[in-house]
Structures are given as C-alpha cells and as structure tokens.
Structure 1
Amino acid sequence: MASTLNAQSRILDASQIRQKITRIAFEIYEHNFEEAELVLVGVAPNGYVLAELLQQELQKISPITLHLHRLKLNKTVPTKESLSLTPELQNLQNKVVILVDDVLNTGRTLAYSLPLFLNAQASKIEIATLINRHHTLFPVAATYTGYSLATTLNEHIEVSFPEDGNFGAYLS
C-alpha cells in the first residue's frame, strides 16, 4: 500500500493533518463550550481514527465529557447492511452528536447514518471531516472542515492513518 500512496500526489502531510485536527477541535469547543457532554461518532475505519484524534485534542483544551463511538456501515451500498455502533448508544436525548469521517464526497455515508441519531432525539448533529470535496449528492454539509478541495469526479482522495503517525492525504 505504501508504494501506491507514494505514487499519488500528497495533498496533506502528517504535520498539516495534525494542525487541521487541532483547529477542528478548537472550533468544536467554541461552538459547544456550554455543553457538558459531546458524543463523537467516527465512521469506520478512517473516520473513527479521526474521531479518536479529535477526542485527544478536545481533552487537552476543554472540560467537556467526551463519548467515542465507532460506526460501521457499507459505504458503497448503505442500505444493504444494517448500521453497527460500538459501544451501543445509551441516551442521546438532548446531547450533541458530532459525526466524523475522513472525506466528505457525495454525502451518502453520512446521510444514511443520520436517522440513527435523529431517532435517538439528539439535540444537535454536527459533521466534522478532514477533507471536503464538494461533490455532495445528498443534503449533507460539513460543520467543521479541515481542508476544502475542489476535485474532478474522476479523482480520488485517500487518507492514511498508519500507527507510526506518518499520516497523509493523497490525491489520485
């Protein structure tokens, strides 16, 4: 996989990604400073890693209690399989949910996951994404965006979060 990533154009390196995560965390705190709790839900796999990193940054700058969940769904055909959330949600009533994914492309993944939180009566649902491509086909908009990038429909963005911390975002 590393040779494939090296052949692509790097659009964000590890330090730039960390900087964007820090900025998003400050924005989340600024918009939710009156909240006692926030629920971060990361879309697996990369959205969950991004949510973990956001949680770490938020813990450094705010007293807000954070709950982290992993959302699994079939990104290609979201209606084919049911959503899986771990750990299971307890009570979302009157809580703020921040849905996190690495790249916002068509909005399909996020649109299909929203009913889970709407049915649980969350007080507010926000979306955080590292990269927004602006090709949405569904009525989904990011509340927090690390990097906004206009691409063609044929181009692809891949975000890599290896354990060694050498993060990168690549355009092909």
Structure 2
Amino acid sequence: MTVSETDAKRHLLMSPARIDRTITRIAFQIFEDTRGSDQLLILGIHERGYLLAVMLADKLSEIYHTKIKVCPVRVKEHGAASLPEDQDVSDAARGSKVVIVDDVMYSGRTMFEAIRKITTDGRPEEIRLAALIDRGHRRYPVELRYMGLYSPTKLKEHVHCRFTDEGKPDGVWLMASLSDTT
C-alpha cells in the first residue's frame, strides 16, 4: 500500500542538487573500482532505478570518455504478473562488470530478484549494487557497494524518490503516515 502525499507527513531527505552530487560521487567510486574495464554495464531496476542508472551512466561516460552501456531490468514485485522483457539482460551482462541500480533499498528482495534474473543464463564477471537510499530492514542476503544515503526508517515510514516528467530527479522524501504521528 502506498501512502499518498495528502495522507502523509513529508520530510525532504535529498534535494535535486544533492541527488546530482551523490550520483557524481557514486560514479567516481565505480570508476575507481572498475578502472581499465571495457566491459562495464549499468542495469537500472525499472522504473526509478533505471532513471538513476541513466544519470549514472552519463556521468561515467564523461569520466571514461566513452559511452557506458545502460539497460533496464524488470523484476516481479510482490506477486505481480510477469513483466515483458526490454531486452535480454543476461546476454548483455555476460562477461561484464555489472552495477545494478535502484532508487531505494529496503528488504533487498528486488535486488535479489534482479541478481537472480541476470545470472539465470548469463555469467557476469562481477555484480555490484547501488542505491540512492538505504532504509535498512534487510531480509535478503544482499549488500550495497555504493550508497547515497543511509536512512534507517520505521516500518510504517516510506521513502519516495520523485522524478519530473522529463525523468530528472525532483527530490527524495521520507513519508510517515499521519496516523503514526498522532
């Protein structure tokens, strides 16, 4: 269940400028870890993770002075029906150093499913995980290598990363149900 903005108390965690600085920092961290690799692939978890992955790939392309490949990866969430494939990500990942990007990491389930999906048929050289926000509350054995902000939350709080219609980040908010604050 999603908490609507009218039913929640909001607190700004990251402004658009801070998001941009954070993506730049993560890009330099990835560059330091993968320097010399010509097989870098950035995978963004559909949909907000992919928007961040595109930003990250653009920053990395500037640093590497070459185009960095970015692809969306779709995973089933909470019993949803199968999603159509944008492309075969396991083929793209084969032999690559892969960074999987999402906007918010909570239990780790989505990242776990993404890892399972790309390793089903492909065999990446390595997989690293990145998220703009880490909420804690891990239930799956996944660890972020690159993180923008660690913000442990209460179970009934939500973190929402918003984007403009043009796909640019509009901010990250911590949202608490009004019923939890009274």
- TM-fit CA distance, 1:91: 4.6
Cα 1:14/1:94, change in 2 over 3 Å: same
Q: CA, structure 1 residues 62+156, in 2 after alignment: closer, same or farther (shift >3 Å)?
A: same
8 Å Cα contact 2:40-2:96 kept in structure 1: yes
SS at match of 1:24: helix
C-alpha separation in 2, matches of 1:93 and 1:73: 18
Given the alignment of the two structures, is residue 41 of structure 1 paired with residue 28 of structure 2, yes or no? no
CA distances 1:9-51 after superposition (whole Å, capped 9, x unpaired)? 1111110110100000000111001211211111111000000
Cα 1:114–1:83 change in 2 (3 A) is farther
Percent identity, please: 27
Aligned counterpart, 1:117: 118
CA distance in 2, matches of 1:52, 1:7: 30
Residue 163 of structure 2 is matched in structure 1 by 161
| Contact 1:104–1:132 (Cα < 8 Å) also in 2 | yes
Counterpart contact for 2:57–2:68, Cα < 8 Å = yes
My pick for the range that moved more, 146-155 or 82-91, is 82-91
Q: 1:48-67 alignment to 2 at 5 Å?
A: 48-63=50-65, 65-67=67-69
Q: TM-score, normalised by structure 2?
A: 0.84
Report the number of matched residues. 168
- Higher mean displacement: 114-123 or 137-146: 114-123
SS in 2 for 1:41: strand
Alignment gaps of 5+ in structure 2: 176-182
1:116 Cα deviation from its structure 2 partner: 2.2
Query: What's the TM-score once normalised by structure 1's chain length?
Result: 0.88
Task: Note the residue ranges of structure 1 that are not aligned, 5 or more in a row.
Answer: none
Q: Determine the C-alpha separation between the residues in 1 that align with 2:75 and 2:30.
A: 25
Deviation track 1:47-84 (CA, whole Å, cap 9, x = no partner) reads 0000000011111111455211111223223xx53454
The yes-or-no answer on 1:86 pairing with 2:64 is no
